[in-house]
Amino acid sequence: MGSYFDFGYMLRSFPIVLSYVDTTLIITVVGIAIGFFIGTIAALIRIGKVTVLGKAVAVYISFIRGTPFLVQLFLAYFGLPELMQKVGYQGVREIPPLFYVFIVFSLHVGAYSAEILRSAILAVDKGQLEAAYSVGMGPVPAHTRIILPQAFSIAVPALCNTVISTIKETSLVFNVGVVDMMRKADLLGANSHRSLELYLDVAIVYIFLVLLVSKAAALLESKRVTIIN
């Protein structure tokens, strides 16, 4: 079996592959943090039925949800620099690929979380918002202190699925020159001709990350149920 699969090489390569997990985590954290913020604003705009902004947000969500993530990544990395050059910005080549990756992940997460949060906000009893207004609270504090915390609590399972999807989608960033676990495994495999062992290393790391998020989601869900009961 050694000629087809080298378990020792797989073990030796694992720390090398794992050393690039920070790129995966940074992309995920930035994308989720900014994406959830965008999603919250987009959800409130859609619920508020703001005419012009509402239509713009609807187009944005439809575009993101209707196109593959890799297409969005290529549009940002290859298309955005051309647009920036045409409007007079010549330092576009100095911008690191990670910048475009952050933009795409943030917008991607924002579109999906917007629909999740919109449904969650609508699931909150409308009487609570009316009660907040009746005691003198304005729209902003009423939403930030009463409605949104409950909406996020309701949306925990779906939002955690979004986090898991984001973690897995980071495996595509090597297509635009970002050296992550996949890219490092690809480079090592080209030299050692042991791609199977290396990609298994990558798979193990992703499985571990997804399990961590799943466990965290289960914990949050159990606490939510306990509070409700």
pLDDT in tens, 174-202: 999 899 999 999 999 888 888 899 999 99
**Distance between CA atoms of 82 and 85, rounded to whole angstroms?**
5
The answer to whether 35 and 110 have CB atoms below 8 angstroms apart is yes
pLDDT on residue 219: 85
pLDDT on residue 148: 86
pLDDT-derived band of residue 1, with 50, 70 and 90 as boundaries? very low
Q: Which amino acid appears at position 188 of this protein?
A: L
22-173: CATH number: 1.10.3720.10
Q: Please report, for the chain, the start and end positions of each structural domain, with discontinuous segments joined by +.
A: 1-20+179-229, 22-173
pLDDT on residue 229: 44
Q: Which residue, chain included where needed, has tokens 């969005």?
A: 72
pLDDT in tens, 130-185: 788 787 787 788 888 888 888 888 898 899 999 999 999 999 999 998 999 999 99
The 3-state DSSP class for residue 68 equals coil
pLDDT on residue 30: 97
Q: What angle do CA 150, 222, 107 make, to 5 degrees?
A: 50
Q: Which amino acid appears at position 86 of this protein?
A: K
